[in-house]
Structure 1
Amino acid sequence: MKIAIVHEWLDTYAGSERVVEQMLELFPEADLFTVCDFMPEAERGFLRGKVPTTSFIQRLPRARKWFRYYLGLMPLAVEQFDLSEYDLVLSSSHAVAKGVLTGPATLHVSYVHSPMRYAWDLQHQYLRQSGMDRGVKGAATRWLLGRLRAWDHASAARPDVILANSAWIAERIRKAWRRESTVVHPPVDIEGFPFRPAKGEAYVIASRLVPYKRVELVAEAFRAMPDRQLIVIGDGPSMPRLRAAAAGATNIAIRGRLPQMELVALLQSARAFVFAAEEDFGIGMVEAQACGTPLIAYGRGGAADIVQDGATGVLFGAQSVEAITDAVRRFEALTIAPEACRANAERFSRDAFRANLLREVTAACAARGMPAP
């Protein structure tokens, strides 16, 4: 069986690249296609020495720095990949990869991280945060997003099978594309976050500091609880908002970006990991659970798949100071076993991902009368 793996673009090793890594682990002979490849040499190990086939966007002016500005051309770019000789195509898609063209003899299984967020329900948030919600530039961006939305919906009919990375994303797929999908949770390197049953007194949040993560909301909640310690790990454009929210609070320590060993040590010793964002999945939450650390998390998005409310953490129902403070108090009234948290994290291991992905691909092949890969 000849197999192709299609991914949007390569420029950093992040969540979607971890999925590609495990696809290549499962199917090491597969060929790799991407819109463009600007992955730094030091981070290319997960590609197993493969040199991807790229699109014309790779050669456009200043593409290395500005390839995202060519988003409007990316649907055309992925449609130019000739996949006619492949029996199986696996796409890893959060924008355009699922839109590749395949013939009736080719089985296309698409692993979807999300429908194109900025073209659907997050369009207004994206426009506000990028400063493009008004004026000529705003009108042009809305027009482009409308075109992308139409293409995204039409191209969602192309995959034979769609896999979603969480129940939340499965619902977004149903809403945006009117397609059904099967949930296969993404792979998490839980081995890199060793279990430690002994816990300290400080609560921890580790996150990129961007608006939708709502880290400043957590800081405001802990400023209202001066007898509880909070450690904030991370950096980003929302750092000024975080510092303003924590101003005058002696119980809040802002540590910035930390080396991996220090991050792991703080997650291992945390009383609980606090998370207030509406996330597609939330790998950081699983990493904390792997350390044996309970979660206090906003109950929408991927957190609902991860947290076993009352057993491995507490879910709260609103992004508000009052909801977070109430959740902390409810958590402190519970007894949550670190061993239960670690066992919960095992559901999201890389081994589990490969087994679940292979099961779904094998079932899809059987339904088409094809041999198993």
Structure 2
Amino acid sequence: MTGGRLGQLKVALVCDWLESYAGAERVIEAMLAVFPQADVHAVVDFVPPGERGFLGGRPVITSFIQRLPGARRHFRHYLPLMPLAVEQFDLSGYDLVLSSSHAVAKGALVGPDQLHVSYVHSPLRYAWDMQAEYLRDAGLAHGPKGALVRWLLHRLRNWDARSANGVDVLVANSRFIARRIEKCYRRESVVIHPPVDVAGLQPGTRREDFYLTVSRLVPYKRIDRIVEAFRQLPDRKLVVIGNGPELERLRAIAPANVSLPGFQPDTVVRDHLQRARAFVFAALEDFGIAPVEAQACGTPVIAYGRGGASESVCGLDNPAPTGVFFDAQTPEAIAGAVRLFEMQETRITPQHCRDNALRFSQDAFKERFADVVLAAWTAFEAQRNTS
């Protein structure tokens, strides 16, 4: 996609870990569309053969962690070694280094004649403001093992802050993450929302009387709060699509009006998105692609009004609303938002939802990212030529 000066540059793209084709990998795919000449580096690469299309046939240069015992299944256990691993990549032959970072990728080492632009999904979450939540969910809030993990996270936090100094331009995936970057690194950042395949989603032709959420079933997604909210709404139906360690526990506590079919293929997810009365979203996310996908299908969103959802959903105070916000991650607040939505439902049209989702298209991301990198390279080159 790039031409002119950018098309002539030698480019490296550094990632954290590659495990499956999910949100971070979609960003990598779009970055590679902008810079098709880029060589890809990752701490580990265990993406299965059927999901590697986003790499366009490129080989991936991996770190020593790729070859450590048990890395395929338990590479996250090697997190304390990842700062060292990402610093071992030899990037000396590249003009431009791009990184896609939610953990350590932005810590790649570059020289004074190289430009480093880092797309930051978040500062290392469990080392900063989410540390207490992470330790609690992992059962490590107390005891000697918890003390060891706290010390390791302290070391990672120091490294994370220090490594931000080696990045020339920080790009945040939302205004929420831009504020977190400023708090953690004391740096300003440019906001570019991640790409969503809105072109591959279309509004359905009929709506049915059920609510929907689609998510990995892990604690911070707060699916249990949504399930409990619908216990308070026994005459409404909720469908929860997704798999994860919380699935059996959620099935055990779910009332009769809540169904949890587990993992479903994309065609089934898309069909449910097109038919649902509204999509319910209770997580505090950096951005959150699922609410945008719902809106691309013309479906309103009932969302926790903090984090990325507050940027991707237009609330009732907007002249063209696409959803309703609740202000606490509690069953009572969610149930209240469902009732409010039903009172205001006629104000939220499928076309409003669809138009809002188009702001986050893949083409919009590519154009904005190319513009930011070009401006950064132009300024970098001018400074280098005058020094």
On whether the aligned pair clears a TM of 0.5, the verdict is yes
What's the counterpart of residue 219 of structure 1? Answer: 227
Aligned partners of 1:199 and 1:269 also within 8 Å? yes
Offset at 1:289? 0.5
Offset at 1:352? 0.9
Superposed structure 1 runs of 4+ greater than 4 Å apart? none
Per-residue CA deviations over 1:211-256 (Å, capped at 9, x if unaligned) read 1111121111111112222112122222244234423xx3222222
Does 1:158 find its partner at 2:170? no
Distance 2:260 2:43 in 1: 38
Offset at 1:370? 5.9
Aligned partners of 1:272 and 1:293 also within 8 Å? yes
1:85-96 equivalence runs, <5 A: 85-96=93-104
Distance 2:322 2:193 in 1: 18
Offset at 1:193? 2.0
Does 1:149 find its partner at 2:153? no
Work out the number of aligned pairs and report it: 369
2:335 aligned to which of 309, 319, 325:
325
What's the counterpart of residue 84 of structure 1? Answer: 92
What's the counterpart of residue 359 of structure 1? Answer: 371
Does 1:264 find its partner at 2:251? no
Distance 2:288 2:161 in 1: 25
- % identical equivalent positions: 59
1:301 aligned to which of 299, 307, 315:
307
Per-residue CA deviations over 1:180-214 (Å, capped at 9, x if unaligned) read 11110111112332222532211111111111111
Aligned partners of 1:271 and 1:293 also within 8 Å? yes
Q: Which letter maps to 2:308?
A: G
Does 1:43 find its partner at 2:43? no
Q: Which letter maps to 2:158?
A: A
- Other structure's SS at 2:348 match: coil
1:243 aligned to which of 251, 256, 259:
251
Aligned partners of 1:217 and 1:245 also within 8 Å? no
Aligned partners of 1:99 and 1:155 also within 8 Å? yes
Distance 1:370 1:29 in 2: 23
Offset at 1:178? 1.0
What's the counterpart of residue 315 of structure 1? Answer: 325
Per-residue CA deviations over 1:98-143 (Å, capped at 9, x if unaligned) read 0111111111000000100111111111112222222222121111
What's the counterpart of residue 64 of structure 2? Answer: 56
Offset at 1:325? 1.8
1:135 aligned to which of 109, 120, 143:
143
Aligned partners of 1:220 and 1:321 also within 8 Å? yes
Distance 1:354 1:265 in 2: 28
Unmatched tracts of structure 1, length 5 or more:
none
- Other structure's SS at 1:351 match: helix
Offset at 1:76? 1.1
What's the counterpart of residue 127 of structure 2? Answer: 119
Per-residue CA deviations over 1:118-171 (Å, capped at 9, x if unaligned) read 111111111122222222221211111111000001001111000011111111
Distance 2:62 2:224 in 1: 40
Distance 2:297 2:92 in 1: 45
Q: Please, what TM-score do these two structures have when normalized by structure 2?
A: 0.92
Q: Please, what TM-score do these two structures have when normalized by structure 1?
A: 0.95
Offset at 1:369? 3.0
- Other structure's SS at 1:156 match: helix
Does 1:174 find its partner at 2:186? no
Offset at 1:69? 1.4
- Other structure's SS at 1:157 match: helix
Aligned partners of 1:197 and 1:292 also within 8 Å? no
- Other structure's SS at 2:165 match: coil
Structural RMSD (CA): 1.5
Does 1:255 find its partner at 2:261? yes
Instruction: Answer with 130-139 or 80-89: which moved more.
Output: 130-139
What's the counterpart of residue 281 of structure 2? Answer: 275
Distance 2:340 2:258 in 1: 21
- Other structure's SS at 1:368 match: helix
Per-residue CA deviations over 1:9-68 (Å, capped at 9, x if unaligned) read 212111111111111111111111111222211111111111111112222222222221
- Other structure's SS at 1:200 match: coil
Distance 1:253 1:72 in 2: 39
Per-residue CA deviations over 1:260-288 (Å, capped at 9, x if unaligned) read 11111111011110111111111111110
Offset at 1:360? 0.8
- Other structure's SS at 2:261 match: strand
Cα 1:66–1:320 change in 2 (3 A) is closer
Aligned partners of 1:294 and 1:336 also within 8 Å? yes
Unmatched tracts of structure 2, length 5 or more:
1-8
- Other structure's SS at 1:333 match: helix
Q: Which letter maps to 1:214?
A: R
